[in-house]
């Protein structure tokens, strides 16, 4: 098991176990840890579609909003704490409202967390291979930069857990979508297959825009059944929830 840097610490409040990133005076940045028997892929406190209320309560947020995720490049701004979860399609969220949490549900896909140096905004992107190839993370960075009227250099990002490149075999039709991010794709021992490094792909896109990277939580979702749901391992509906909020 790969341990993340120790700026991410586990915390339990009521039924909700999370990793939280120490951002100093920065935003609340977290990742829900699954509870219960790893063999049980349902009935879990972290299981979508019922995690929002439990996490919102545990972290004392006014709201925790999620999207109907469709592996798109659509960025949605939450400008109202009455925003209805799962009613809008999209794969990245941003807000300037303190106390309104943004949530992304993941089981192998990479959550990318964003905030600005002036602590006026937060954002969160759902990065699977389709969204990453479509530029969801740099799209969110550009949207935040435009909304705040600041350079992307004023933005920070942190990467959450995801399936690691050793566990993520893809075909040539996926690999060719990452031609201009060649650090992200390597040949696999399986003939005709490739290994995709989602983390390297998203990091490459964001560093190229000039963003600064904070400590990531480097867990492989597929290799850590006690902590993480994994679509490729479980073929089930369980999801961890990545969340961020301005304090
Ligand atoms: Zn792995």
List pLDDT tens digits, range 170-219: 999 999 999 888 789 999 999 999 999 999 999 999 999 999 999 999 99
**What's the average model confidence in pLDDT over 84-98?**
96
Q: Is 4's pLDDT higher than 50? A: no
Question: What residues does the ion ligand 1 have nearby, CB within 5 Å?
Answer: 164, 166-167, 220, 222-223
pLDDT value for 182:
72
Å from CA of 221 to ligand 1 middle: 7
pLDDT value for 3:
43
Å from CA of 160 to ligand 1 middle: 14
List pLDDT tens digits, range 55-64: 999 999 999 9
H, E, C per residue of the chain: CCCCCCCEEEEEECCEEEEEECCCCCCEEEEEECCCCCCCCCCCCCCCCCHHHHHHHHCCCCEEECCECCCCCCEEEECCCCCCCCCCECCEEEECCCCEEEEEEECCCEEEEEEECCCCCEEEEEECHHHHHHCHHHHHHHHHHHHHCCCHHHEEEEECCECCHHHCEECHHHHHHHHHHHHHEEECCCCCCEEECHHHHHHHHHHHHCCEECCCCCCECCCCCCCCCCHHHHCCCCCEEEEEECC
**What's the average model confidence in pLDDT over 4-18?**
83
What percent of the chain is modeled with pLDDT above 70? 91
Classified by CATH at the fold level, domain 8-150+157-162+216-245 comes out as: 3.60.140
Task: State the pTM of this model.
Answer: 0.94
């Amino acid at each position: 098991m790969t341990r993340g840097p120790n700026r991410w610490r586990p915390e339990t409040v009521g039924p909700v176990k999370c990793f939280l990133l120490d951002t100093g005076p920065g935003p609340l940045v977290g990742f829900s840890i699954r509870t219960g028997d790893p063999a049980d892929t349902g009935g879990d406190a972290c299981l979508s579609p019922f995690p929002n209320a439990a996490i919102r309560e545990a972290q004392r947020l006014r709201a925790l909003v999620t999207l109907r995720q469709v592996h798109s490049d659509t960025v949605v701004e939450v400008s109202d704490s009455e925003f209805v979860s799962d009613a809008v399609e999209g794969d990245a969220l941003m807000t300037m409202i303190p106390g309104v949490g943004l949530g992304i549900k993941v089981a192998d896909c990479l959550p990318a967390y964003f905030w600005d140096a002036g602590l006026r905004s937060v954002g969160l992107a759902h990065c699977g291979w389709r969204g990453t190839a479509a530029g969801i993370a740099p799209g969110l960075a550009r949207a935040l930069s435009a909304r705040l009227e600041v350079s992307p250099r004023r933005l920070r990002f942190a990467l959450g857990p995801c399936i690691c490149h050793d566990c993520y075999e893809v075909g040539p039709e996926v690999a060719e979508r990452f031609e201009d991010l060649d650090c992200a794709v390597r040949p696999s021992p399986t003939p005709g297959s490739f290994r995709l490094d989602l983390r390297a792909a998203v990091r490459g896109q964001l560093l190229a825009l000039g963003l600064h990277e904070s400590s990531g939580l480097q867990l492989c979702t597929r290799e850590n059944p006690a902590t993480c749901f994994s679509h490729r391992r479980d073929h089930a509906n369980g999801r961890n929830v990545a969340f961020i909020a301005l304090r």
